[in-house]
A = this chain, B = another copy of it.
Amino acid sequence: MQDRMERLLDKLREQGHRITPQRIAVLRVLLESRDHPSVEDIFEKVKVNFPTTSLATVYKTISVLKELGELLELEFSNDHNRYDGNKPYPHPHLICTRCKKIVDPELGGLTDITRELVSDTGYKILSHRLEFYGICPECQERR
């Protein structure tokens, strides 16, 4: 993980971006989180160490990381977007619609399905999104 941080900092520098304390703080939160935080979540955690950090800066840092392909964005129109800085490539997600928890299930990929799709449709597939919505065991217990 420390490796990844170094690699990210190098990549930022290479692309002409500056390394600021705020960016390091955002990166740290992203790499430490396994729970697919929202921008607001990231902001709150960053503020613990950098009380003056603004939401706009978090948004801007996220935008840079997306451009570099180092951050996966899970879009929701009715809710905050959520982010995965650890596995910044498409992979399945399992989302509890009650507590909003998002986890990465161990699941075989979509390689075969994608190959079939390409030969059937002629599309050039660049990415995908696979999400399962349900109720997690904890929330099932709760009521």
Contact = CB atoms under 8 A, between A and B. Distances in A.
A76 to B, nearest CB: 6
- For the complex of A and B, the 5 pairs showing the least CB-CB separation, nearest first, are A75-B77, A125-B134, A122-B137, A123-B134, A127-B133
B124 A113 contact: no
Nearest to A138: B122
Interface stretch (A1-9, A53-61, A101-109): A101-109
A116 interface: yes
| Copies of this chain present | 2
Interface size class of A (residues with CB under 8 A): 35 or more
Interface string A113-136: 110110011111111111111111
B123 A96 contact: yes
A117 B107 contact: yes
